[in-house]
Amino acid sequence: MRQTLRLFALLLRGYVRDRTALFFSLVVPLMLMVIFGYLNLGDFGKVTVAVDDQAKNASSAQFLQILRGVETLQVSEVPTDQALTKLRRTELDMLVVIPSDFVIALARPGQTVPQIVVYGDDARPQQVAVGRQIVSQIIDRLSFAVTQTAPVVAVKEETVQGVRLRYVDFLVPGILGVNIMQLAIFSVAFALVADKQRGVLRRIMATPVRVTSLLTAHVLTRLVIAAGQVAVLLLVALVLFNVTIVGGLAPLVVVALLGTILFLTIGFALAGWATTENQVPAIAQLITLPQFFFSGVFFSKNAAPELIRPVTNVLPLTLLNDALREISVQGASLWDVRTQILGLLIWTALGFILAVRLFRFEKF
Amino acid sequence: MTPIVQVTDLRKRYGDIEAVRGISFFVEPGEVFGLLGPNGAGKTTTVEILEGLRKADGGHATVAGVDVFADPAGVKRRIGVQLQSSAFPDNLTARETVRFFAACYDVEVDELALLRQVELEERAGQSQSKLSGGQRQRLSIATALVNQPQILFLDEPTTGLDPQARRNLWELIRSIRARGTTVFLTTHYLDEAEILCDRVAIMEEGDIVALDPPRKLIDDLLARGFTKPVLQQKANLEDVFLDLTGHELHEV
């Protein structure tokens, strides 16, 4: 125990002195969170609509007025040719052209009805879809008013989440998860493979040091750094983005540390397998990159193609993110996320077996 | 006196290569023993077996009274080692490096006193990675002394050092020996062996081909009627270099 603590104190000191390592474990995660927090990727924003009113009559004025009244839309009047240029530059989401024969009136059977043309920016399909929807709804309502028929079905819109979920609320647990993964895998794999290559491990193993002491000291060092990372990220989330951790900090930290241990075992396995430092980033990326995208870090885990979802849903980072998110957003307790915790423990056991098989301090 | 190292019929093979072919020798307590030989002669393999880092295929070896094969950890506790091509943990100062190894042996040491012993006291707070080659070798010796070993193994300690740093290290090795510590070193520099060693074993392709004090090996050679084909120069370029740059510690 005393030996472990002495080694731990020195390893930690060395780690903290390493500016590059510190940059990657504290500054990069922070940058990720601040950038994505402000980018507000999940925020839909407004749909910018240009209207070219070629009719200039009472009907078109009425239509335009209703359009302007819709909160989601930001409406401006722009001639078609100018608007099309803006559309191509993606400065606009949509262009609505009201034809000169536009009129809201009953049509005689066989008469051609005026056609509103809607152009959309393909780069923002979601916004365009919503815009089109709104335009057709307005037309429908105007038509109903004229034809004096009532809709046969009504839709009442409600959100599923009790509290309104902002993107940052969704993002913060994901950022925590992904950084825990990166820190644990990269910091162990890079440091130990470098030690192996440079003969540091050989030199250490020429002493009667207890391998468990050395190993524990390495793990403790990473746990402290991970705890520091989680603390910094949470502080920024709470202060800068007003994120509320509904389920409380304690269960969140417990799950975060469980996740750290899980990814540490993978880091050790990787460090055991790799013989040169060049192999580390390749394999580490192979492990982390799919999880980066499919484990619900920046957007829902359901963004993964349906075919691979059975796999992506049980990836270590998916389980970790799910647990963190349920605690932080939905106020789940540790007992509520027991399935994910069980999953994390199973992965940890697998990682541990792999690490023990691949990593041998005595070998160097 | 009982030998501090006793090796009997030691064997080691790597695949088809017989790296060590049944060598036997002993080392007396308090002497500087040199294992000489060209690269690939089996010196490092022999030393690493004695240090408990490698398993032998056959034979018997005791170091400081401990059976190396039965209790490698016991050997490691009693010896000090300096390995070829090894390094220290990153981002530690010289003093912390010594402390790290003291922790590895689970002993308390006066780090500064140890650093003073290898003339690195002023470098105590400096990052070990910023030390010069000679300073790093001296630090390496300091880390090998944390457990007050009965015997110190040095594997090619002066390889890659400039002439002054070499001479400096020789002084250090002499002072360690003067304190009663046995020194077991490997080298491929014959001048080093001649100056430092009480006895040398010459290895060639896994065998010991000669084992005696350097002076005796030379006398035996002369007795066999050996003469050097060219006249020995009164001085060589190394003497010029040392004369111009001085024998004292000049490293920065």
* pLDDT tens digits, A168-177: 888 889 999 9
CA distance A178 to A227: 14
Pick from A207, A212, A360 the residue to mutate for testing the B interface (most B CBs within 10 Å): A207
Name which of A118, A43, A128 is nearest A93 in CA terms.
Answer: A128
Q: Half-sphere exposure (CA, 13 Å, Cβ side) for A242?
A: 3
- Whether residue A294 has pLDDT greater than 70: yes
Per-residue confidence band for B40, with pLDDT thresholds at 50, 70 and 90: confident
Q: What is the pLDDT of residue A161?
A: 46
Name which of B156, B152, B110 is nearest B133 in CA terms.
Answer: B156
- Whether residue B77 has pLDDT greater than 60: yes
Per-residue confidence band for B123, with pLDDT thresholds at 50, 70 and 90: very high
Over the range A147-158, which residues count as b (16 or more CB within 10 Å of their CB) and which as e?
eeeeeeeeeeee
Per-residue confidence band for B249, with pLDDT thresholds at 50, 70 and 90: very low
Q: What is the pLDDT of residue A308?
A: 86
Which residue is listed with tokens 């003291």?
B102
Share of chain A above pLDDT 70, in %: 93
Tokens of B169: 């290290």
Q: How far is CA B80 from CA A202, A361, B185, in A?
A: 14, 19, 12
Contacts of B55 in chain A (CB under 8 A): none
CA distance B201 to A50: 93
Is A205:A349 a contact under the CB 8 Å cutoff? no
pTM: 0.77
Per-residue confidence band for B106, with pLDDT thresholds at 50, 70 and 90: very high
Q: Does A203 contact B87 at a Cβ distance shorter than 8 Å?
A: yes
Q: What is the mean pLDDT of chain A?
A: 85
CA distance B70 to A215: 25
Query: By the CB < 8 Å criterion, does A215 face chain B?
Result: no
Tokens of B201: 């074993």
Looking at per-residue pLDDT, the higher value among A133 and A151 belongs to A133
Which residue is listed with tokens 């037309």?
A139
Contacts of A207 in chain B (CB under 8 A): 76, 101, 104-105
E strand or H helix that includes residue B234: none
Name which of A62, A63, A97 is nearest A82 in CA terms.
Answer: A97
Q: Does A207 contact B96 at a Cβ distance shorter than 8 Å?
A: no
CA distance B109 to chain A (A): 13
Is A47:A94 a contact under the CB 8 Å cutoff? yes
Is A265:A355 a contact under the CB 8 Å cutoff? yes
- Whether residue A321 has pLDDT greater than 60: yes
Q: Does A208 contact B76 at a Cβ distance shorter than 8 Å?
A: yes
Cβ pairs A/B, distance under 8 A = 77
Q: What is the pLDDT of residue A100?
A: 87
CA distance A218 to A191: 10
Tokens of A149: 């028929």
CA distance A100 to A115: 10
Give the Cβ contact number of residue A296 at 10 Å: 27
Given A10, A15, A207, which is nearest B99 (Cβ)? Answer: A10
Is A204:B81 a contact under the CB 8 Å cutoff? no
CA distance A107 to B95: 94
- Whether residue A71 has pLDDT greater than 80: no
Q: What is the pLDDT of residue A130?
A: 81
Q: Does A199 contact B76 at a Cβ distance shorter than 8 Å?
A: no
Q: What is the pLDDT of residue B159?
A: 86
Looking at per-residue pLDDT, the higher value among A39 and A281 belongs to A281
E strand or H helix that includes residue A94: strand A94-98
Over the range A237-249, which residues count as b (16 or more CB within 10 Å of their CB) and which as e?
beeebebebebee
Q: What is the pLDDT of residue A28?
A: 83
The amino acid occupying position A158 is E
Q: Half-sphere exposure (CA, 13 Å, Cβ side) for A96?
A: 29
- Whether residue A106 has pLDDT greater than 80: no
Q: What is the pLDDT of residue B121?
A: 92
Q: What is the pLDDT of residue A162?
A: 45
CA distance B75 to B6: 13
Backbone dihedral angles phi then psi of residue A108, each to the nearest 5 degrees: -75, 150
Pick from B51, B86, B146 the residue to mutate for testing the A interface (most A CBs within 10 Å): B86
Q: How far is CA A65 from CA A56, A69, A73, A343, in A?
A: 12, 6, 12, 55
Three-state SS for A214?
A: helix
Is A170:A243 a contact under the CB 8 Å cutoff? no
Tokens of A96: 């609505």
Per-residue confidence band for A41, with pLDDT thresholds at 50, 70 and 90: low
Q: How far is CA B206 from CA A224, B20, B39, B42, in A?
A: 49, 4, 11, 5
Name which of A271, A280, A278, A354 is nearest A316 in CA terms.
Answer: A354
Tens digits of per-residue pLDDT, B52-64?
Answer: 989 999 999 999 9
Q: How far is CA A243 from CA A27, A100, A233, B206, in A?
A: 20, 51, 11, 70
Per-residue confidence band for B234, with pLDDT thresholds at 50, 70 and 90: confident
Q: What is the pLDDT of residue B105?
A: 95
| Ordered alpha helix ranges (H), chain B | 43-50, 72-78, 94-104, 111-117, 133-144, 163-178, 190-196, 214-223, 237-245
Name which of A215, A189, A179, A354 is nearest A283 in CA terms.
Answer: A189
CA distance A66 to A92: 20
Query: Quick one: how far is CA A102 from the chain centroid?
Result: 45
Per-residue confidence band for A124, with pLDDT thresholds at 50, 70 and 90: confident
CA distance A139 to A145: 10
Q: Does B53 contact A205 at a Cβ distance shorter than 8 Å?
A: yes
CA distance A215 to chain B (A): 12
Bridge partners of residue B11, in order along the sequence: B21, B58
Give the Cβ contact number of residue B154 at 10 Å: 27
CA distance A224 to A257: 10
- Whether residue B252 has pLDDT greater than 50: no
Q: Give the neighbor-by-neighbor strand order of the sheet with B66-67.
A: B17-27, B5-14, B58-63, B66-67
Cα angle B38, B41, B42 (rounded to 5 degrees) comes to 135
Average pLDDT over residues B209-219: 90
- Whether residue A78 has pLDDT greater than 80: yes
Q: What is the pLDDT of residue A346?
A: 96
Q: What Rg, from alpha-carbon coordinates, does chain A have?
A: 28
The amino acid occupying position B222 is L
In sequence order, the 6+-apart residues with CB closer than 8 A to the CB of A179 are A25, A29, A32, A229, A233
Q: What is the pLDDT of residue B231?
A: 64
Contacts of B142 in chain A (CB under 8 A): none
Per-residue confidence band for A224, with pLDDT thresholds at 50, 70 and 90: very high
- Whether residue A159 has pLDDT greater than 80: no
- Whether residue B22 has pLDDT greater than 50: yes
Pick from B49, B104, B145 the residue to mutate for testing the A interface (most A CBs within 10 Å): B104
Contacts of A209 in chain B (CB under 8 A): 103-106
Average pLDDT over residues A245-250: 87
- Whether residue A179 has pLDDT greater than 80: yes
